[in-house]
Structure 1
């Protein structure tokens, strides 16, 4: 790491001497401003310690807590400057975790990020992680998991349609398109019914 130039060191020393003397004017730090921002910053850091937040979300939480909007904006600028708040990184991690770990679709994730005030550019960059293949893989995983909850073949067409609606519903609640949800749900249901049929036939052979 490069060392500061001699004139910079001298400037910092003068600023510290002025600050310690309580003069403030011309110093790098404004003690009055820092004192006013301190409780706002402390609250902001507590909120960020709980979980990552977008700038819009954090700003709204601080204002809801009756913090002065002007001080809030100054604190947010400070946090962004030191890298403690970054909407692009926040959006990237939001998509990574909720797509792969919670099975959310790109459409659902885009809506969630939009509600959190993330810009269109940052949303688009984060959603590049989601591909058609990754969405299809997640849809199959969800559909098969739901289909496995069926323990015996449906008694009639009405029961079969009811089972199909339940599988489709799982995919729809995560924002996947209806056409693809219906196609994959039908195939997952057919797979499960075939398994149940084989189990039933095997049971008959054993009893005989």
Structure 2
């Protein structure tokens, strides 16, 4: 190594050392922006707190942070950082949202698609996540929801009017979860008949 190379390397080390000293003392002229880092730290803390509660889409998290009156540019920088380390990923979020809310809450693919759309998830990502649900899954989940509602019936309906009332209640539960009317009515009739038979 030549004397010139050694001096150049030493100059770089000295420059870096001075920059680190300036950073530590808060006197950095431009290499480190303490104010910008402090702003990002505040946004990052709030973002991580929201993500700790539950997973969120980028759009949803951005909206919450801007509603909290953080600078949109700083918010976008922090969201980019979080995406870069895998803490914010709409594809993963959408898959988990569909899996959990279909299995645990009995929601239809149609309702789940609307929920993801409201959270700003792109159409292609929504479609990919919803591919987890096929028609057999959809019908099976709808039946489970209907059977749970039918179990609340404690006695055989006394007449046609009472029977229709119970039928409407089961159909209503399915409709609120977004299942098609024809499927809802068919399944509701089947599970109501099964419940009446079990009570006799």
Give 1:49-198 correspondences, 5 Å limit. 49-197=52-200
* Shift in Å, 1:19: 3.8
Task: Give, in whole Å, the separation in 1 of the partners of 2:15 and 2:46.
Answer: 28
Once superposed, which parts of structure 1, at least 4 consecutive aligned residues long, lie more than 3 Å away? 12-19, 23-27, 29-32
* Shift in Å, 1:154: 1.1
Cα deviation, 1:119-147, whole Å, max 9, x if unaligned, reads 10110111111111111111111111211
Q: TM-score, normalised by structure 1?
A: 0.83
RMSD (Å) for aligned C-alpha atoms: 2.2
Cα deviation, 1:120-179, whole Å, max 9, x if unaligned, reads 011011111111111111111111121121111111111110000001011111111110
CA contact (8 A) 1:140 1:184 kept: yes
Q: Unaligned stretches of 5+ in structure 2?
A: 1-11
* Shift in Å, 1:30: 4.4
* Shift in Å, 1:25: 7.7
Q: Unaligned stretches of 5+ in structure 1?
A: 1-11, 198-208
Q: TM-score, normalised by structure 2?
A: 0.86
* Shift in Å, 1:36: 2.3
Cα deviation, 1:57-104, whole Å, max 9, x if unaligned, reads 100101111101111111111111111100000001000100111111
